[in-house]
Structure 1
Amino acid sequence: MSRHRAQQLASEFLARADAQGWFEALYAEAGNDYAAVPWADLTPNPNLVDWIITQGLKGAGKTALVIGCGYGDDSEFLAELGFEVVAFDVSTTAIAQCNQRFPNSPVSYQVADLLNPPATWSQGFDFVLESYTLQVLPSALRALAISKISRLIASLGQLLVIARGREETDPPGQMPYPLTQKELDTFEKLGLSNQSFEDYLDNESPPVRRFRALYTVASTD
């Protein structure tokens, strides 16, 4: 039911030419009923955790940015690894819930818009996590969002993207819309270097096709 309601809200707001307003509407409607938000598992994303374990990534002395942080579980996970974390969401209710759930957190939770991020964030983060945000944006906004994301990564920094995946010939489906590899290739056109690209079925029931891609930014020296 929660996914159907999210799809309904997304369609309603898109019809009003407000492609992002439904996020706040969904979180506000959910209140403390976290299960009403379809992606809210209240635990770090296993597709992130598995990757971190494999890479042995450590965060001490590094900054991280979490895009579309939702209820904050991925952000807290990165903070536990030692990163100095900034996490943002376009929904004021989501950010309020993060502060309520983690009152003593070292994470800086902020309300911000991916399509118009603070100028002070430009090239500001050693590690940027984009997990499941691009896939809930309509295709018309994804290129802009990808462009904005590419500017957030510091020199020698990393960007990890996790998203549903599909072939170019597959129908776009309903929100969340799976991405194509061609869409993710836009990061390379913007100057990032692709370090790995995984196309796999996750452990959900039924399994979901995922793309997990790592990009780096060359030194600006």
Structure 2
Amino acid sequence: MAEDPDVVSRRIAKESLDRDDPTGWFENLYAAAAEGAAVVPWDRGTAHQLLIEWAEESQPDGAGKSALVVGAGTGWDAELIADRGYATTAFDISPTAVETARRNHPDSEVQYVVADLLNPPADWHRAFDLVVEIYTVQALPISLQPAAIKQVTELVGPGGTLLVVAAARPDDEPDEAIQGPPWPLTRATMHSFTTPDLRLIQLTQSPSPADPTISRWRGEYLRD
């Protein structure tokens, strides 16, 4: 019987963490998946349900606007955003993920690039009208999440929107009790995406349709 994808991803992550390389496991996982030796747990073959719902509810018009998708993965979320008219850039730290996204969407208008959230290109600073972050921060150890969150917020341009989707955990659950990845986010962590000029305008929590015991956050923020 094949191993549970979550178990495989945790093992690959642990090997990377043991080498003091907390982000290297993304490439290792995507490379293993490309060889048929693993499955990427969050690769749904479609855009994330909560992103689809947000787009249906908000009906954003991306004409003349730019968007950035954090953690492009295999590209499904970025393609949805591009379909809404945004000039879309999507990045991942894993070169194999970027190659897979390009292969999955050969006629795409999305610009897929390799980049590191913890050290993004300088010209991305407050440059985008829409920033979409789904499951990237929670894939990083809790000690790195504040730095990652700060970088995410600094990608949102004036008047821009930030959409964050993440697995949820109770605020009173201690960090040391979490056996990641993922390392789900507390309500307080979701609130930490705010800054003096980046306001939280909506935060909802809903059960996962695949597993009702798992809750997900959807947070929407607006830069003044």
Q: 2:198 aligns with which of 180, 184, 192?
A: 192
Counterparts in 2 of 1:34 and 1:88: CA distance versus 1, 3 Å: farther
Say which is worse superposed, 162-171 or 37-46, in terms of deviation. Answer: 162-171
- TM norm structure 1: 0.94
Shift of 1:201: 1.3
1:48-59 equivalent positions in 2, closer than 5 A: 48-59=51-62
1:165-186 Cα deviation digits (max 9, x unpaired): 1112124343111101111222
**SS of 2:193's equivalent?**
helix
Equivalents in 1 of 2:122, 2:7: separation in Å?
Answer: 35
Aligned to 1:105: 108
Equivalents in 2 of 1:43, 1:113: separation in Å?
Answer: 24
**SS of 1:175's equivalent?**
coil
1:210 aligns with 2:216: yes
- TM norm structure 2: 0.93
**SS of 2:219's equivalent?**
strand
Equivalents in 2 of 1:114, 1:89: separation in Å?
Answer: 8
Aligned to 1:37: 40
Identity over aligned residues, as a percent? 38
Equivalents in 1 of 2:213, 2:47: separation in Å?
Answer: 18
Shift of 1:34: 9.7
Q: Report how many aligned residue pairs link the two structures.
A: 218
Aligned to 1:11: 14
For structure 2, which runs of at least 5 residues remain unmatched after alignment?
Answer: none
**SS of 1:52's equivalent?**
helix
Equivalents in 1 of 2:58, 2:35: separation in Å?
Answer: 35
Q: Is the 8 A contact 1:150 1:190 kept in 2?
A: no
Aligned to 1:179: 185
1:90-129 equivalent positions in 2, closer than 5 A: 90-129=93-132
1:82-114 Cα deviation digits (max 9, x unpaired): 111000000000001111111121000000000
1:85 aligns with 2:95: no
1:13-68 Cα deviation digits (max 9, x unpaired): 11111000000001111116497111111111111101111112221111100000
For structure 1, which runs of at least 5 residues remain unmatched after alignment?
Answer: none
The AA in structure 1 aligned to 2:166 is: A
1:70 aligns with 2:73: yes
Q: Is the 8 A contact 2:8 2:38 kept in 1?
A: no
